[in-house]
Structure 1
Amino acid sequence: MLGPQASVSEIHKLREQLGLNKPIGEQFLLYCSQLMHFNLGTSYTYNEPVIKLIMQRFPNTVILTLFSMFLALIFGIGSGIIAAVKKNSWVDYLVTILSLVGVSMPVFWLGVMLVLVFSVNLQLFPATGMASLSSGVIDFLSHIILPAITLATIPTANFSRITRTSMLDVLGENYIRTAKAKGLSNFKIILKHALKNAMVPILTTIGMEFSSMLGGAVLTETIFSWPGMGKLIVDAIDKRDFVVVQGTVLFLALMFVLINLCVDLLYKVVNPRIQYVKKE
């Protein structure tokens, strides 16, 4: 922090300011008390509060995550429903194979290949950076599409597999056969009856994937130079800014817990039969 030319007195003074001259137990308790006031420390590199850096970068990560989640839900749940309805057909086999490929696809390899093909060779999309909506919708979409596809690939495959399995369980139930006997259209049976009752495991996967995408965008943001939390963590590690690394990891861990708590509470909305009561 002080540079290689710092004097001994300057080093002692800074150690005292940071509380590094106190016993390790006292340092830990002091750090915990600061956390209660949302004080994550001050960055060595930027010389700014860590919480301020997080608030500057976190919205960018949320934008990328929401866009990626939208793509994953549309293509993942859609393909899973089609595979379940067309069970044991070539469509089912194709979706299953693509899901396995998607789950196995390394994010860093996929991101580099997308840049090579669509940015370097075809020159259709920018390779790096982020554009705001104020610069135009087309410019915004052209910057976000490649990192969003990269980040959405594994969640799309997971949604497809979970949706197919859950839908197959539901489509064999008696009330589905009753709905067919009443003459309801396949579209109404699938969306209103089957999908609604198959949503609990899908909702669990959505919560887990959304949490993972918030914290797992490190590689994607690094490849595409997306100014989010992942890029902030990588830059902090590169510069040995341990305070920023510690603060961002704690913040993402808190987000992970809160998102999964919200998912647990949403179970009752999706399936009213679920009761949050203690057994006698």
Structure 2
Amino acid sequence: MKGFLYKRILQLIPTLLIVAIIVFFITRMLPGDPAAVMLGPQASAEDIAAYSEKLGLNEPLHKQFFDYLINLATFDFGNSLTYNRPIMDLIIERFPNTIILAVSALLLAVMIGVPAGIIAARKQNTIIDYSVTTLSLIGVSMPIFWLGVMLVLYFSVNLGWFPATGMGSLEEGFGSFIRHLILPSVALATIPTAEFARIIRSSMLETISQDYIKTARSKGLKEFKVINKHAFKNALTPLLTVIGLQFSGLLGGAVLTETIFSWPGMGLLIVDAIEKRDFVVVQSTVIFIAVIYVVINLIVDILYKVVNPKVNLDSNSGGGK
């Protein structure tokens, strides 16, 4: 286990370096002059040139890149060009909001997707199985930006049940907080729910066909006990991988959801930074999310070993058998 952890931690360095290089050059390719965007259309050419000099945008690209890597290595994310605040303060302020949204969507997806997959596996080749499979396909294929707009249009505009945008404050009451959370959580949970249902159905069908399940049934055990104590436990390993990947994806994929619902999280921060050409914020937030992503994948591999000690963590597949 220790050897595996050391190996995976060392693998984080080149991974994050590649992400840093890609993000740096992509942000430099964004159209528009950051100084001109931040100063506004009333700024003169002399003001724009002076501000570009102050931001270091006139430095050679290789020097900007070298300074950028040095700052990352020393965990110095710098200050936002538009908010005029330390970027780490912005991340600390916004990241908990994204975590709340991502965890809510993940819990919703698990509570709906896992039971749906189990029921579909038990009712294989029935109308229930076909319905779950069809809904899973629709859920995976449905664009979040379209679903989010439809949810707002129907449940907020037409019915008035839920707020269309914003994040409720606990100071306004727990009910207000939950009402603001429901629509973005449902929109963000759609794809993970479909994935969980599909994966658990496939895994359960494979597990149910095993001899030890047939033996348990022949001993007269109740079907509920056979499914939950024997079959589901052994079908859980593939689900762990999908949960880890989906949670990582929820953190990064919340950009569209947070933009549609004006949820003040990391995704909305990135979109605002792109619009204002605040490339320093874009770089730092993407790197931060990349770190979270690889750490979650590392935790999933460790959980693999906890759930199934037979898993070989030293294999090249990262949690392969």
TM over 0.5: yes
User: 2:121–2:204: 8 Å Cα contact kept in structure 1?
Assistant: yes
2:259 corresponds to which of 222, 241, 249: 222
Which residue identity is paired with 1:171?
I
Q: In structure 2, what is the equivalent of residue 161 of structure 1?
A: 198
What is the 5 A alignment of 1:1-280?
1=35, 3=39, 4-5=43-44, 7=46, 11=49, 15=53, 17-20=54-57, 22-277=59-314
Q: Distance between the aligned counterparts of 2:283 and 2:208, measured in 1?
A: 47
Structure 1 ranges of 4+ moved more than 6 A: none
Which residue identity is paired with 1:136?
G
User: 2:301–2:313: 8 Å Cα contact kept in structure 1?
Assistant: no
Distance change in 2, residues 1:90/1:13 (3 Å): closer
Deviates more, 1:38-47 or 1:62-71: 38-47
Shift, 1:119, TM fit: 0.5
Q: Distance between the aligned counterparts of 2:183 and 2:290, measured in 1?
A: 26
Shift, 1:234, TM fit: 0.9
RMSD: 1.9
Which residue identity is paired with 1:28?
F
State the secondary structure of the residue aligned to 1:231: helix
Q: Distance between the aligned counterparts of 2:45 and 2:80, measured in 1?
A: 19
Cα deviations across residues 114-146 of structure 1 (Å, max 9, x unaligned)?
Answer: 111111111011001101333322111100000
Aligned residues: percent identity? 58
User: 2:52–2:58: 8 Å Cα contact kept in structure 1?
Assistant: no
Shift, 1:233, TM fit: 0.9
> Any unmatched runs of 5+ in structure 1?
none
State the secondary structure of the residue aligned to 1:120: helix
Deviates more, 1:161-170 or 1:176-185: 176-185
Which residue identity is paired with 1:154?
I
Q: Distance between the aligned counterparts of 1:254 and 1:85, measured in 2?
A: 39
Shift, 1:29, TM fit: 2.4
User: 1:38–1:51: 8 Å Cα contact kept in structure 2?
Assistant: no
State the secondary structure of the residue aligned to 2:295: helix
Deviates more, 1:172-181 or 1:162-171: 172-181
State the secondary structure of the residue aligned to 1:141: helix
Q: Distance between the aligned counterparts of 2:128 and 2:242, measured in 1?
A: 23
State the secondary structure of the residue aligned to 2:227: helix
State the secondary structure of the residue aligned to 1:217: helix
Shift, 1:215, TM fit: 0.5
Q: Distance between the aligned counterparts of 1:14 and 1:120, measured in 2?
A: 44
Distance change in 2, residues 1:12/1:73 (3 Å): same
State the secondary structure of the residue aligned to 2:125: coil
Cα deviations across residues 82-119 of structure 1 (Å, max 9, x unaligned)?
Answer: 00011111100110111111111111111111111111
Shift, 1:30, TM fit: 2.1
Shift, 1:194, TM fit: 0.8
Q: Distance between the aligned counterparts of 1:20 and 1:93, measured in 2?
A: 57
